[in-house]
Amino acid sequence: MNTIKAAHSHRTRSNSALLLVVCMAQFMVILDIAVVNVALPSMRSDLHFSTTGLQWVVNAYTITFAGFMMLGARAADLLGRRRVFLTGTALFAVSSLLCALASTRGVLIGVRALQGIGGGIVSPATLSIITASLPEGPERNRGLGLWAAMGGLGASSGALLGGLLTQGFGWPAVFAINLPVGAIVIVLGLRVIPADLRVVGPRHFDLSGALLVTSGLVALTYGIVRTDTLGWGSTGVLAPLAAAVVLLGAFLFVEARVARAPLVPLSIFRLSQLRVANAVVVLMYSALFSMFFFVTLYLQQVLGDDALQAGLSFLPITLSVFTGSSLAPRLVSRLGVRSVVTLGLLSAAAGTLLLTAVRPGASYATAVLPGGVLSGLGMGLALVSSTIAATQGVPRAQSGLASGLLNMSRLFGGALGLAVLSTIAASQSHPSPGVSASTALTNGFAAAFEVGAVILLAAVAIAALGLRSRPAEAVAEPAPAEVAAVEDAEAIAA
């Protein structure tokens, strides 16, 4: 009996250490999407960026992060999860150092793109390691809850950490901080992440599929982010979007008819939980990622907060995201994923509606705090439970693929929502006789929050109709020897 207890205690400690490492990496790469925002004015002053050029400090990272997501996800399945995770982390850490040392605009944008490639490799590998290492049920749900919490915290705490680092040490610090974090992740990862199983026989990599999906996703993201300076009907937006449609259509044809071992086996989309959960995540991030953006603008441009004050104002929202993420796994065990997803989305929709109270004469305590906390709580609940739903029943050999799809849904939801809602806000922000510039600006924010609430209610309907309340009957977790045999057989077949 004592031997069994000791073995269980050792396994629990090992799993906790594994979760610490992969969640630290996930937080690091998601944080870098938002942490640079408050540092942009300092970068403009030091490196003499134009307004348009400055946006590419953000866009270069987002485009390559999204474009290489599926390639990184499938590489984790085919080449080994630990190997790909550690390689991606090293690339991310080194490129972060190069960002901090950049002395020209071109160098900074170039190494930001390289940093995005590292993020696109690391992020799907983190989720794949969790789903492949932990048995389905409460233990995996806890791991997924922590993983999703790190993603939510990374998105919501970017303003806070960016403000602290920029004001205390200058803009290079928002990049330099990743070097020691990345080194810790690599050292601990070598110790606690299980070694990759030996793969025998030939391994076929779908090169044509990889090129098509990566170029298609890059073109799609590029077209979306260009809407911040160009109209939706401009050639600079329509041309890359059309190219993306052609490339992604060709990718689907190759995967279905040509590829001997598809990069993305289309059979994975037969999993209804995965389809619905990804649709929910796209809509949720379309509304809530934009919410953080507009609140930051309101605090700094209307209420007059500096970078540090705006960052500190996000602390209650960040804590509410963490609270929702912590509660979600236990609520899922009691209520089922459908109930928790819909509850979280309803909370987020209510909070977003409360944010429509933003006005020039309002205060943070009345216009931002209640809606922000309610939205953050809902985000934590819905994101964790959607992640649990998306990974239920996914074969072990496709865990990297499923994680890549989920991460891509988050990223594209955020980019698309920001593009659409920014356009809506801008259309309502033109001053008119009798309406001040700040009032017109907050009218635009309020219109964007209203549309965001409608998007979240659409996600509620999809979740309520499409998700199962309880997971399908669990399948017994195979023994390690059986897993090795199955993965060897799959590698040979591929």
Percent of the chain surpassing pLDDT 90: 24
Give the model confidence (pLDDT) of 56-88 as tens digits. 787 788 778 877 877 787 778 778 888 999 999
Q: What pLDDT does residue 475 have? A: 36
Q: What pLDDT does residue 6 have? A: 46
Task: Report the predicted TM-score, pTM, of the whole model to 2 decimal places.
Answer: 0.76
SS3 annotation, the chain: CHHHHHHHHHHHHHHHHHHHHHHHHHHHHHHHHHCCHHHHHHHHHHHCCCHHHHHHHHHHHHHHHHHCHHHHHHHHHHHCHHHHHHHHHHHHHHHHHHHHHCCCHHHHHHHHHHHHHHHHHHHHHHHHHHHHHCCCCHHHHHHHHHHHHHHHHHHHCHHHHHHHHHHHHCCCHHHHCHHHHHHHHHHHHHHHCCCCCCCCCCCCCCHHHHHHHHHHHHHHHHHHHHHHCCCCCCHHHHHHHHHHHHHHHHHHHHHHHHCCCCCCCHHHHHCHHHHHHHHHHHHHHHHHHHHHHHHHHHHHHHCCCCHHHHHHHCHHHHHHHHHHHHHHHHHHHHHCHHHHHHHHHHHHHHHHHHHHHCCCCCCHHHHCHHHHHHHHHHHHHHHHHHHHHHHCCCCHHHHHHHHHHHHHHHHHHHHHHHHHHHHHHHHCCCCECCECHHHHHHHHHHHHHHHHHHHHHHHHHHHHHHCCCCCCCCCCCCCHHHHHHHHHHHHHHC
The answer to whether 22 and 130 have CB atoms below 8 angstroms apart is yes
Please tell me the distance from the alpha carbon of residue 452 to that of residue 446, in angstroms, as a whole number: 10
Q: What pLDDT does residue 114 have? A: 93
* Between 261 and 243, residue with greater pLDDT: 243
Please tell me the distance from the alpha carbon of residue 349 to that of residue 339, in angstroms, as a whole number: 15
Q: What pLDDT does residue 155 have? A: 64
* Between 352 and 267, residue with greater pLDDT: 352
Percent of the chain surpassing pLDDT 70: 86
Q: What pLDDT does residue 490 have? A: 32
Query: Is the pLDDT confidence value at 284 over 50?
Result: yes
* Between 479 and 205, residue with greater pLDDT: 205
**Band of pLDDT at residue 463, cut at 50, 70 and 90:** very high
Average pLDDT over residues 332-337: 89
Q: Which residues contact 338 (CB under 8 A, 6 or more apart)?
A: 389, 463, 464, 467, 468, 469
Please tell me the distance from the alpha carbon of residue 225 to that of residue 206, in angstroms, as a whole number: 28
Please tell me the distance from the alpha carbon of residue 248 to that of residue 236, in angstroms, as a whole number: 19
Give the model confidence (pLDDT) of 158-208 as tens digits. 767 887 888 788 889 989 989 999 999 999 999 888 887 555 445 556 678
Average pLDDT over residues 13-26: 83
* Between 302 and 263, residue with greater pLDDT: 302
Residue 258: CB atoms within 10 Å: 12
Highest mean pLDDT among 175-184, 255-264, 463-472: 175-184
- Map tokens 């690091």 to a residue: 28
Among 49-58, 111-120, 214-223, 408-417, the least confident range? 49-58
* Between 194 and 263, residue with greater pLDDT: 194
Q: From the CA atom positions of the chain, what is the Rg in Å?
A: 22
Average pLDDT over residues 314-331: 86
Q: Tell me which residue of 132, 414, 181 sits closest to 285, measured CA to CA.
A: 414
Q: What pLDDT does residue 471 have? A: 47
Give the model confidence (pLDDT) of 349-391 as tens digits. 999 999 999 998 888 999 999 999 999 999 989 988 998 888 7
Average pLDDT over residues 31-37: 77
Q: What pLDDT does residue 473 have? A: 38
Q: What pLDDT does residue 156 have? A: 63
Report the half-sphere exposure of 221 (CA within 13 A, side-chain side).
Answer: 29
Highest mean pLDDT among 111-120, 132-141, 259-268, 479-488: 111-120
Q: Is 470 left (phi over 0), alpha (psi -120 to 50) or beta?
A: beta
